[in-house]
């Protein structure tokens, strides 16, 4: 149904990027396992945002959050941003969290 609706093609065409990149994205997104994974993730996301309760504690489960580093110039000139705040919020979900 998703392939027939053309939703994937419209979304890819609306994105920025070369024609070659768009062709590759279409090939990837039209694979059955990719569509299935995207649908499952979308369902889980919708379930999470519909919840009125805060997320449960992760307890003793180890959590590692990897982020992309900033170029040296950016580190020297910018202040902490939303991703830093997000890292702090994620750390609070675990009982034994620390930030290195």
pTM exceeds 0.85 for this model? no
pLDDT in tens, the chain (100 residues): 666 677 778 888 888 889 999 898 888 888 888 878 878 888 888 898 898 988 888 888 887 877 777 666 655 555 556 667 777 777 677 666 666 5
Q: How far apart are CA 75 and CA 46, in angstroms?
A: 35
Residue 34 near residue 28, CB atoms below 8 Å: yes
Nearest Cα neighbor of 100 from 74, 49, 55, 64 is: 64
């Amino acid at each position: 149904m998703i392939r027939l609706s053309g939703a994937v093609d419209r979304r890819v065409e609306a994105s920025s990027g070369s024609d070659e990149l768009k062709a590759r994205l279409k090939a990837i997104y039209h694979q059955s396992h990719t569509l299935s994974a995207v649908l499952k993730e979308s369902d889980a996301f919708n379930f999470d945002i519909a919840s009125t309760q805060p997320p449960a504690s992760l307890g003793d489960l180890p959590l590692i959050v990897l982020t992309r580093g900033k170029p040296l110039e950016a580190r020297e000139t910018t202040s902490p941003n939303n991703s830093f705040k997000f890292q702090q919020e994620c750390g609070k979900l675990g009982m034994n969290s620390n930030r290195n």
